[in-house]
Amino acid sequence: METPLQKSTKSWLPYALGAVLVAQFAGLGVWQISRAQEKRAAQDAFDRQSGFTRFVDGMDVQPFQQLATEGVFDADHQFLLDNIIVDSRNGHYVLTPLEYSPDEPLLIVNRGWAARSGESVEPSALEVPDGRLTVRGRVGALPRAGYRMGAAIESPSTWPQHAVFPTLGELSASLGREVQPFVLLLAPTEDHGLLRRWEPREIGPRRHYAYAFQWFAMAVVLAALLAWNFRKRGHRR
């Protein structure tokens, strides 16, 4: 036979669980709004950039800031980022280290996307100008994966090296040199690059606002059901 305490616990447990779910749904809605604001800020930062700032080692940089520097491309130590889909085609981002000073970290330059050819890319995609040159682009980052299986660098002793969602630390270890804490997305106006579409391509702010509306709507509906059931239960008494 149930005790009064057990009966009371069974009676209130669904409301407690429901309240927890309402709080979680509302929290997810707030998180989606926060993500939308972040995406809007990133898009605004991308849109308002004008002119190129000369890069100096150690300077503070902002996402999508336009930079210009001089250096020499290291054609012998390039990376191919695998599984990059563009227009429903599989290919690679081609990352080429740029040395602008022997005493300073290398700058990893994403020269753009190249279609897959066999197990690699066409040799022409790996060709870069000789000698010192001016390089312009935007401050960017490496593509990120929610989950990665296995090592980032597939063949550490073979160049160009194939990589699956590596970190800058892993590229640095493979190169045996320190690298800058960002990637330079080569400007579309530069001649020594490949296919480049650097606009923010993740889920846009509108999609996040739509998700937020869904979570808030679920929270409101569940709260209303709990309130209705509570009032109905009270009338029965």
169-209 residue pLDDT tens:
999 999 999 999 999 999 998 888 889 888 765 556 777 78
The whole-angstrom separation of Cα 198 and Cα 195 is 10
Q: What is the pLDDT of residue 208?
A: 76
8-48 residue pLDDT tens:
555 667 777 878 888 888 888 888 888 777 667 666 666 66
Q: Mind giving me the DSSP string for 21-33?
A: HHHHHHHHHHHHH
Statement: the pTM of the whole predicted model exceeds 0.85: no
Listed as own residue / partner, the contacts of 51-60 with beta carbons closer than 8 Å and 24 or more positions apart are 52/136, 55/100, 55/107, 57/101, 57/104, 57/105, 57/180
199-212 residue pLDDT tens:
765 556 777 788 88
- Domain ranges in the chain are 51-186
Query: Is the confidence at residue 5, as pLDDT, over 50?
Result: no
pLDDT band at 78 (very low <50, low <70, confident <90, very high): very high
* Chain-centroid distance, C-alpha 139: 13
Nearest-10 Cα torsion for 25, 32, 148, 92: 150
- Tokens for 190? 């530069």
Query: Is the confidence at residue 152, as pLDDT, over 80?
Result: no
Beta partners for residue 115, in sequence order: 91
